[in-house]
C-alpha cells in the first residue's frame, strides 16, 4: 500500500459539535453498500488521513477497522489484512472492544472465504471474547458485533455439520439484532433469518424454514415501506426461498 503524506493543517478546521472524519467513515460505508468503490475508498482514506494527521489513534483505529470491511468486500484481501493489523495496533493503546471484535470478524471472513473454517472460528472466538456477554447499557457496536459474530460462526458450524450449535448461534444473532431495534440493522436481520431458513432446509424441517422465511419477508416489507432496498439481503432471501421451493418439490 502506498503511504500518503499527512498535513495537520489540512484537517485542523473541524467544526464545533461535528467531526468530518467520522462522517467520512459513515459515507464510506454507505458507498460500500451501494457498490461505489471509488467513493468508498476516497472517504475512508480521508478519514484515516485526518485521524493520523491529528494523532488521534482511537479515531484512526476505528477508521481502519471500517477499511477492513471495505477492502475485503472489494476483493483486496492484502489491503484488508494490512488495515486490520494497523487497526488492532491502535486499539492496543486505546482499547475499543466493539470495534476490535469487528476487526476479528472480518479476519474470520477472510479465513472462511479461503476455506479455513477452523482459523475463521478462532478469529470469531477472539472477537466474541473481546465483547464478552451482554450487559445492560452496552454500546451498539459491541451488541451488533456479538450478533454478527454469532451469525458467521453459525455458518462455520454448518460446514462442520454441527446443527445444534448452528441453530443456537443463529437464534442468538437474531435475538441480538431484534433487541437493538434499529432500522439500519434490518438488512442484517433479513440475512440472519434467511440463513436460519437455509439451516432448516438442510435439516429437512420445512415448517421451521417457512416460519424463518416469513420473518425475513416481513422485515423486507418494512424496509420497502421506508424506501430501503438492499440488493444483498434481497438476494439472500431470494436464494433461500428458491432452496425452500426445491425442498418442497422433493418431499
What confidence tens digit (pLDDT) does each residue in 11-28 have?
A: 444 444 447 888 899 889
pLDDT of residue 21: 87
C-alpha gyration radius of the chain: 19
pLDDT of residue 199: 97
pLDDT of residue 17: 43
What confidence tens digit (pLDDT) does each residue in 28-82 have?
A: 988 888 889 999 999 999 999 999 998 999 999 999 999 999 999 999 999 999 9
pLDDT of residue 130: 96
Residue 141 pLDDT greater than 70, yes or no: yes
pLDDT of residue 12: 46
Residue 160, all three cell numbers: 462442520
pLDDT of residue 128: 98
CA nearest to 97, candidates 45, 54, 144: 144
- Specify whether the CB–CB gap between 223 and 230 falls below 8 A: yes
Domain ranges in the chain are 182-251
pLDDT of residue 8: 40
pLDDT of residue 6: 34
| Residue 209 or 6, more confident | 209
Instruction: Give the other-Cβ count within 10 Å of 9's Cβ.
Output: 7
pLDDT of residue 19: 78
Residues 6+ apart with CB under 8 A from 160: 117
What confidence tens digit (pLDDT) does each residue in 178-187 have?
A: 999 999 899 9
d(CA 220, CA 199): 20
| Overall pTM surpassing 0.85 (yes/no) | yes
Q: What one-character-per-residue DSSP string does 227-248 give?
A: T---HHHHHHHHHHHHHHHHHH
Residue 51, all three cell numbers: 485521524
What confidence tens digit (pLDDT) does each residue in 2-13 have?
A: 333 334 444 444
What confidence tens digit (pLDDT) does each residue in 81-101 have?
A: 999 999 999 999 999 999 999
What confidence tens digit (pLDDT) does each residue in 106-123 have?
A: 999 999 999 999 999 999
| Residue 230 or 172, more confident | 172
Amino acid at each position: 500500500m502506498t503511504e500518503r503524506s499527512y498535513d495537520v493543517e489540512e484537517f485542523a478546521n473541524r467544526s464545533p459539535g461535528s467531526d468530518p472524519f467520522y462522517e467520512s467513515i459513515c459515507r464510506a460505508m454507505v458507498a460500500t453498500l451501494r457498490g461505489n468503490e471509488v467513493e468508498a475508498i476516497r472517504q475512508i482514506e480521508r478519514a484515516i488521513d485526518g485521524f493520523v494527521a491529528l494523532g488521534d489513534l482511537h479515531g484512526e483505529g476505528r477508521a481502519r477497522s471500517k477499511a477492513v470491511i471495505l477492502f475485503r468486500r472489494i476483493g483486496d484481501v492484502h489491503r484488508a489484512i494490512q488495515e486490520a493489523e494497523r487497526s488492532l495496533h491502535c486499539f492496543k493503546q486505546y482499547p475499543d472492544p466493539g470495534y476490535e471484535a469487528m476487526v476479528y470478524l472480518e479476519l474470520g471472513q477472510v479465513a472462511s472465504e479461503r476455506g479455513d473454517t477452523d482459523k475463521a472460528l478462532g478469529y470469531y472466538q477472539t472477537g466474541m471474547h473481546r465483547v464478552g456477554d451482554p450487559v445492560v447499557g452496552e454500546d451498539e457496536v459491541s451488541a451488533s458485533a456479538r450478533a454478527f459474530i454469532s451469525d458467521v460462526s453459525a455458518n462455520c458450524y454448518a460446514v462442520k455439520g454441527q446443527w445444534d450449535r448452528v441453530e443456537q448461534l443463529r437464534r442468538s444473532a437474531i435475538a441480538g439484532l431484534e433487541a437493538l431495534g434499529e432500522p439500519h440493522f434490518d438488512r442484517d436481520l433479513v440475512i440472519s433469518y434467511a440463513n436460519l431458513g437455509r439451516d432448516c432446509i438442510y435439516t429437512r424441517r420445512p415448517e421451521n424454514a417457512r416460519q424463518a422465511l416469513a420473518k425475513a419477508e416481513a422485515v423486507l416489507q418494512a424496509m420497502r415501506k421506508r424506501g430501503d432496498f438492499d440488493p444483498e439481503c434481497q438476494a439472500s432471501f431470494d436464494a433461500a426461498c428458491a432452496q425452500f421451493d426445491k425442498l418442497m418439490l422433493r418431499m
